[in-house]
A and B are shown apart, each in its own frame.
Chain A
Amino acid sequence: MQFKDYYQTLGVARDATADAIKKAFRKLARKYHPDVSKESDAELRMREVNEAYAVLSDPEKRAAYDQLGRGQQPGQEFRPPPDWDAGFEFSGRGYSPQETADYSDFFAELFGRMGGAHPGARDGHAGFRIQGEDHHAKVLLDIEDALNGGTRQISLRVPQVDDQGRVHLATRTLNVKIPKGVRAGQVIRLAGQGAPGTGGAPAGDLLLEVQFKPHARYRAEGRDLHLTLPVAPWEAALGAIVPLDLPHGGVKVRIPEGAQSGQSLRVRGHGLPGEPPGDLLLDIRVVLPPASTPKARELYETMARELAFDPRKQERG
Chain B
Amino acid sequence: MRDDDILIGSLMEDSWLTLEQVAAACSVDAAWLMRHIEEGLFPHAESVAGTWRFSGTSLLRARRMRQLERDFDAVPELAALMADLLEEMDALRERVRRSGLG
Which residue on chain A has the smallest CB distance to residue B57? A185
A176 with B59: CB separation less than 8 A:
no
Residue of A with least CB distance to B28: A96
How many residues from A make CB contacts under 8 Å with B?
Answer: 35
Q: Are B7 and A187 in contact (CB under 8 A)?
A: no
Asked if A8 CB lies within 8 Å of chain B CBs, one says no
A151 at the B interface (CB under 8 A) = yes
B interface size (C-beta, 8 A): 27
Contact indicator B12/A188 (Cβ below 8 Å) = yes
| B59 and A209 contact, CB distance less than 8 A | yes
Say how far B60's CB is from chain A's closest CB, in angstroms. Answer: 8
Q: Is the CB of B89 within 8 A of A176?
A: no
CA distance A179 to B24 in the complex (A): 23
Using A26-B71, A35-B89, A96-B27 as known contacts, say yes or no to A179 and B57 having CB atoms under 8 A apart: no
The one of A29, A35, A151, A187 in contact with B1, judged by C-beta atoms closer than 8 angstroms, is: A151
Find A29's partner among B7, B11, B72 (CB 8 Å cutoff).
B72
Q: Are B21 and A207 in contact (CB under 8 A)?
A: yes
Please tell me if the beta carbons of A182 and B11 are within 8 angstroms of each other in the complex. Answer: yes
The 3 A-B pairs with the shortest beta carbon distances in the complex, nearest first, are: A96-B27, A134-B24, A188-B9
Q: Can you show 24 pairs from A to B with CB atoms below 8 A apart?
A: A25-B71, A35-B86, A94-B70, A98-B27, A135-B25, A136-B25, A151-B6, A174-B7, A175-B1, A175-B6, A179-B9, A179-B11, A186-B14, A187-B17, A188-B10, A188-B11, A189-B9, A189-B11, A189-B12, A190-B9, A193-B7, A207-B21, A209-B56, A226-B98
